[in-house]
Amino acid sequence: MAPRGAIESLPESDAVAECPHPRDTYDLIGQAEAEQDILKAYQANALPQAIILGGPAGIGKATLAWRVARFLLAHPNPAAPEVQAAENLWVPPEHPAARQLAALSHTDLVLLRREWNEKTKKFFSEIRTEDVRGVIHLFQQAAGAGGYRICIVDSAEDLNRSGANALLKTIEEPPPKSLFLIVSHRPDSLLPTIRSRCRRILLKPLSATSIVQILDGLGPPWTGTAPEERAEAAARAQGSLHDALRLLSGSGGAFDGQIRRMLEALPQLDWQAVHALADQIAGRDGLADYETLMITIIDWLDETVKARAETGEAGSGKRLAPLAEVWEKVAEAARETEVLNLDKRPLVLSIFADLAAAARTSLV
């Protein structure tokens, strides 16, 4: 559980390098519809006890979660005239509640995320059960400002199973004026019991225009790229700001293109290239490339399954099943590799073997 008080100098697992943290991002671009859904529910004093903010990474889910928390803690009475007249969830940075959230010092908000392990100098691979217990303790106390107690989970996919079950118990029987804002990149993969007790708000992928607008507002180093480079990255980013940033960073675009060419050639594989890729990923400086590889593979699987499903061909569901299964296998193998700190070379070779087999089956 993220500690409250002065912001630590430790790395934050829910932050993107060289970008403002979502709690320090006051503009929400491209997600007005989701924002209005929550605002109207609050104005009607009809907020659920838990909301899943779902959709791909990099579309504004965490920014919206912090924006909601900021508004509720700044305006604890939904019947107040300023709330009823509000057109969005904007709160100025100088508001006391905004300052407290920026400093992670508000007593009525808790953040669940992967924490920094001082021993290994890496993030824990999951949100631990002990982190969830800290949330339960907060929700057993009265709200300090008489308003909402809020928990932001970023992201739900990082919860281990026992932690998810512990969180579920609090969501099932929440005290009054409690709100869980659960960021989820794959909401369909969450425990059915959690999904059934939450309202799901699915955010849409960002338009290329919105991504360019966000990039232009980030400042250096991103604005140091040529406008046409930013426009091209936005167009190729599949609606995700994270993907656009990855394409703009160093050799990220070229590496992403290399992986996609290998994926598009499936079920054919150049095993020499796959072995070279595995060596590159497993190197001392291969962490960024490893993250790019996993994101690109997951994105490609999502895009491929959706594109083929939309054709509506007879038997398409049966043929797509192997791709859906390998998606789950890739995610689980990656998590196990990180938890046990295993060599990433066998993981890369295994992933491409599974992808080739699944692609071959899906074409039958």
Radius of gyration of the chain (CA): 21
Determine which of 44-58, 124-138, 181-195 has the lowest per-residue pLDDT on average.
124-138
> In a 3-state reduction of DSSP, which class is residue 110?
strand
Look at residue 138 and tell me whether its pLDDT is greater than 90.
no
Domain ranges, ordered by start, for the chain: 22-202, 250-362
Q: Which helix (H) or strand (E) holds 135?
A: helix 129-139
Cβ count near 142 (within 10 Å):
11
pLDDT, average across residues 224-247: 90
The predicted pLDDT at position 136 comes to 82
Look at residue 141 and tell me whether its pLDDT is greater than 90.
no
The predicted pLDDT at position 3 comes to 43
Instruction: Kindly tell me the burial class for residue 260, based on how many C-beta atoms sit within 10 Å of its own C-beta (0-12, 13-18, 19 or more).
Output: middle
How does pLDDT run across 288-317, given as a tens digit for each residue? 788 788 878 887 887 788 777 777 654 566
Overall pTM surpassing 0.85 (yes/no): no
Sequence-ordered list of residues with C-beta below 8 angstroms from that of 193, at least 6 positions apart, any chain: 168
Q: How far apart are CA 333 and CA 106, in angstroms?
A: 38
Fold of 22-202: Rossmann fold (3.40.50)
Look at residue 181 and tell me whether its pLDDT is greater than 80.
yes
Which of 311, 313, 312, 354 is closest to 332 using CA atoms? 354
pLDDT, average across residues 17-27: 93
The predicted pLDDT at position 312 comes to 62
Q: How far apart are CA 338 and CA 143, in angstroms?
A: 37
Look at residue 25 and tell me whether its pLDDT is greater than 70.
yes
Look at residue 113 and tell me whether its pLDDT is greater than 50.
yes
Give percent of the chain above pLDDT 70. 93
Cβ count near 355 (within 10 Å):
24
pLDDT grade for 42, boundaries at 50, 70 and 90 = very high
> In a 3-state reduction of DSSP, which class is residue 62?
helix
The predicted pLDDT at position 52 comes to 98
Structure tokens at 251: 């050799």
Structure tokens at 212: 């360019």
pLDDT, average across residues 180-185: 96
Look at residue 143 and tell me whether its pLDDT is greater than 90.
no
Determine which of 58-62, 79-83, 226-230, 300-304 has the lowest per-residue pLDDT on average.
300-304
**Residue scoring higher pLDDT (14 or 331):** 14
Sequence-ordered list of residues with C-beta below 8 angstroms from that of 105, at least 6 positions apart, any chain: 4, 5, 6
Look at residue 271 and tell me whether its pLDDT is greater than 90.
yes
Look at residue 69 and tell me whether its pLDDT is greater than 90.
yes
Sequence-ordered list of residues with C-beta below 8 angstroms from that of 137, at least 6 positions apart, any chain: none
pLDDT, average across residues 121-127: 88
Q: How far apart are CA 326 and CA 351, in angstroms?
A: 8
